Amino acid sequence: MIDLSHAEKHIHYVTNFQDLVSTPFTGEINAICWTRKLTGDFSEIIKKVALSGNITEIGPAELRELQLSEQGQLAREILLNDLKILEAHGASPILNVINHYDRDDTFFSNRCLFISCRSLPYTN
């Protein structure tokens, strides 16, 4: 396990999307984390995506086509909603399944889902 306790002073935690996109990076803060309780089975989505390398992008249409259980459907709706609100805010989000991170063999021990933005308008 990687000890990240020293990094805590660099992370600011928020509880909603509006705070996520409107909180400025100040001082030593270099990451903003949206803490929330997620429902659904995200691992089911990961298992059903056909991988095409270490990082596989999943588009909304492909995500909608997955045959999922009720819990998988709950997770899918959260992901689709997150993509939608990021786009509405002016971002260009992408959803990836990360199978292996080339530069760090210790960080990802299992496949994971990751939403990133190609661009997010800067607010100060």
Average pLDDT, the chain: 81
Q: Is the dihedral of CA 77, 79, 84, 86 positive or negative?
A: positive
Model confidence, pTM: 0.76
Looking at the fold, whether 27 and 45 belong to one and the same domain comes out as no
Looking at the fold, whether 121 and 81 belong to one and the same domain comes out as yes
pLDDT of residue 45: 93
Binning pLDDT at 50, 70 and 90, where does residue 102 land? Answer: low
Looking at the fold, whether 70 and 115 belong to one and the same domain comes out as yes
Q: Find the mean pLDDT for residues 87-103.
A: 80
pLDDT of residue 55: 82
Quote the number of domains for the chain: 2
Looking at the fold, whether 23 and 49 belong to one and the same domain comes out as no
pLDDT of residue 25: 87
pLDDT tens-digit series, residues 12-61: 899 999 998 888 888 888 888 889 999 999 999 988 988 887 888 899 99
Decide: residue 79, CB within 10 A, 0-12 exposed, 13-18 middle, 19+ buried: buried
How far is the CA of 62 from the CAs of 44, 58, 59, 84, 96, in angstroms?
Answer: 14, 6, 5, 15, 12
Looking at the fold, whether 94 and 77 belong to one and the same domain comes out as yes
Looking at the fold, whether 51 and 7 belong to one and the same domain comes out as no
Looking at the fold, whether 49 and 21 belong to one and the same domain comes out as no
Answer whether residue 101 shows pLDDT above 70: no
Rounded Cα–Cα distance for residues 25 and 12 (Å): 9
Q: Find the mean pLDDT for residues 59-86.
A: 95
Domain containing residue 46: 38-124
Considering only CA atoms, give the Rg of the chain: 16
Percentage of residues in the chain with pLDDT exceeding 90? 37
Bridge pairing between strands 112-117 and 93-98: antiparallel
Looking at the fold, whether 64 and 25 belong to one and the same domain comes out as no
pLDDT of residue 41: 95
CB count within 10 Å of CB 45 equals: 21
Looking at the fold, whether 23 and 70 belong to one and the same domain comes out as no
pLDDT of residue 9: 83
